[in-house]
Amino acid sequence: MAPEYAMNGKFSVKSDIFSMGVVLLEIVSGKKNRGFDHCTHCHSLLEHAWFVWKEHKTLELMDECLNDTFVESEVKRCVQVGLLCVQKYAEDRPVMPSVLSMLGTEGAILPEPKEPGFLIERSSSSVRSCTSASSNYEKETMSITDLAAR
């Protein structure tokens, strides 16, 4: 949900752009924005995407299931466009034709994203307590059963 809608009830085309950015980041990461949990910190998906972007470690955001089936420049472009769409201020977000152009044009020079909306500053002690709490959980596994009729 776009910050301007959550805080002031103001809805616009730029609110949809914000949602588009969240969806892009969810697709790249394979994680939902809601309930996002990372093993080393308690950032939201948007915060985590912003953090890895600033640290030039964008590929750390990528879903592990993609392994060798990705093009690095495309992943980085999707993350950058996603971050452009979730910028804090609606006027900083691109319009949908620009989003589509940025996603579809290889080698396009994209603007640098600004801080996303809902970026929550945490003290180092709260991050530490969250990290130690999350380390108590084991990694979940998933099994897929293929059923066939008789």
In a domain? residue 51: yes
**Per-residue pLDDT at 121 exceeds 60:** no
Q: Which two tokens stand for residue 72?
A: 């690095």
CATH number at residue 57: 1.10.510.10
Domain assignment of residue 137, yes or no: no
The answer as to whether 142 is a domain residue is: no
Q: Is 78 left (phi over 0), alpha (psi -120 to 50) or beta?
A: alpha
Amino acid at 54: K
- Residue 43 domain-assigned (yes or no): yes
Q: In terms of pTM, does the model score above 0.95? A: no
pLDDT at 112 over 90: yes
Query: How many Å separate Cα 88 from the centre of its chain?
Result: 14
Residue 50 tokens, joined = 């912003």
- How is residue 17 written in tokens? 């752009």
| pLDDT exceeds cutoff 60 at 124 | no
In a domain, 143, yes or no: no
- Is residue 132 in some structural domain? no
Domain count, the chain: 1
Quickly tell me which residue has 């472009």 as its tokens. 77
Instruction: Report the DSSP beta bridge partners of residue 38.
Output: 41
